Amino acid sequence: MNRAFEFIPGLLSWSTLALVVLLSWQKPVWIAIFIILFDLYWLLKSVYLSLHLRSSFNRMKANLAVSWREKLAIFSRWQDIRHLVILPMASEPYEVVRETFESLRKCNYPKDKIILVLAIEERMGEPAKAVAEKIKKEFSGYFPHFAVTCHPADLPDEIPGKGSNETWAAKEIKRLVIDPLKIPYENIIVSVFDVDTQVFPEYFGCLTYNFLTAEKPQRSSFQPIPLFTNNIYRAPALARVISFSASFWQMMQQSRPERLTTFSSHAMPFKVLTEIGYWQKNIVSEDSRIFWQCYFHYNGDWRVVPLFFPVSMDANSAPSFWKTMVNLYKQQRRWAWGAENIPYMLSGFWKNKTMLLHTKAYWSFNAVEGFHSWSTNSIIIFALGWLPVLIGGHGFNQSVLSYNLPGITRSIMLLASIGIASSAVLSVALLPPRPEGFRLRHYAWYILQWALMPLTLIVFGAIPALEAQTRLMLGGKFRLGFWITPKGR
């Protein structure tokens, strides 16, 4: 059954695109009307999502100004809470890892309440071990509980990747620190960070506050907003637009918690992690899969609590422009490989006989529609909108509808560009402090770069999503392994 469900995302996407082409040829009037209505839908959706973006941005900005450590004083048990921070590392250079640990050192939270784990990979050899030892020597004095774990290579039933490394690290730190100190599992919050993830000073205070005020803290994950801004001034324009677009999408999702799932860096209770058997070790998208593991283990009693508080990460940037473009494509393809969770989700719903039908339908539709939109919407809007005029035949081209179709779609897209302009303004507001040599006039280019949005939506959005879904359909040797985004300074 799971294998049959793997065909759904790709089959729907390719069928949609093929149908648009076929109807543009055979039924150009029908498809012209559809394209106009679809563009109107996209305009209304853009306005709707822009409102969510603005709301989340304002809440994030307000939360950054709060002294969360002081707010914890109202709780008698806040000092019982421990934070287990797992940082899986592959071949990242010392400079990247050091910036992350420096942000942890500066956080406004008692360091004895933090259990810090730098999780390296044995397969990365001596360079990774050397970086880990250098980091431990420099920062272990600040953190009483600091460990370096080394995930063995070629363990059975694993693929090399983040999930298998995280699971090894969590089990090791449980054996070495948590169990010997007899720390109650229900008092531990696990934060899993990419090794380039830098925390803002009040992050752990905000996370602890949300944990202590959550309706069901032991049935909740906690999701910060990822801002890909650590190296934003060194990234090319296309990389900046894609990075901000990813941040904005996650920001919008924070205002829709009923459909929010975990992404990249996030937090969850350690007790839950032990009960579900840790992260799955043979998948790529472990950060979103962990949500569905919890959801099915607790029979639907699981949710993601939005923190409306950021962490900062690296934008995708390589030494050369073309290498950056290749890496951007591979990164987007890996994110789109999250479609592998659709068959897992649908199989879970198929087997579960107690969840309500409307709950299954809600999650199934949103998940499938999300990946379908990812791989088709931008192509339909920006690439196929002119097809009825091009291949609709002489009869259609003599009609009033044919004459007005380009003007109508252009006008709708012009209105939709207001949302892009809003994103451009917010992107400037999210920039970190200006580096030396960066002048005020440079901000103009950082706004004008958003004109590249149609290109990024197709080349670094729809196309890698289509490839990922096609690979999922084909299976076997076409399945994606875990690709590590190169980091550098």
* Residue 379, CA distances (Å) to 36, 375, 383 in order: 14, 8, 5
In a 10 Å sphere around its CB, with 0-12 CB exposed, 13-18 middle and 19+ buried, how is residue 77 labelled? exposed
Cα–Cα distance, 355 to 302 (Å, whole number)? 13
CA angle (306, 299, 87) in 5-degree steps? 45
In three state form, how does the secondary structure of 215-277 look?
CCHHHEEEEEEEECCCCHHHCCHHHHHHHHHHHHHHHHHHCCHHHCCCCCCEEEEHHHHHHHC
Highest mean pLDDT among 40-54, 279-293, 418-432, 433-447: 279-293
The total number of structural domains that make up the chain: 1
Confidence of residue 442 (pLDDT cuts 50, 70, 90): low
Contact 372, 10 (CB under 8 A): no
**SS3 assignment, position 260:** coil
Residue 272: pLDDT over 80: yes
Percent residues over pLDDT 70 in the chain: 99
Residue 17: pLDDT over 70: yes
Cα–Cα distance, 36 to 42 (Å, whole number)? 10
User: pLDDT by residue (tens digit) across 80-110?
Assistant: 999 999 999 999 999 999 999 999 999 999 9
Contact 259, 291 (CB under 8 A): no
Cα–Cα distance, 3 to 297 (Å, whole number)? 21
User: pLDDT by residue (tens digit) across 210-263?
Assistant: 999 999 999 999 999 999 999 999 888 889 999 999 999 999 999 999 999 999
User: pLDDT by residue (tens digit) across 287-331?
Assistant: 999 999 999 999 999 999 999 999 999 999 888 999 999 999 999
CATH code at position 162:
3.90.550.10
Cα–Cα distance, 410 to 36 (Å, whole number)? 10
User: pLDDT by residue (tens digit) across 352-405?
Assistant: 999 999 999 999 999 999 999 999 999 998 877 788 888 888 877 888 877 777
Q: DSSP secondary-structure letter at 91?
A: S
What single-letter amino acid sits at 152?
Answer: P
Residue 161: predicted pLDDT: 85
Mean pLDDT (the chain) is: 92
Residue at token pair 């899986």:
88
Structural domain harbouring 121: 1-489
pTM confidence score: 0.92
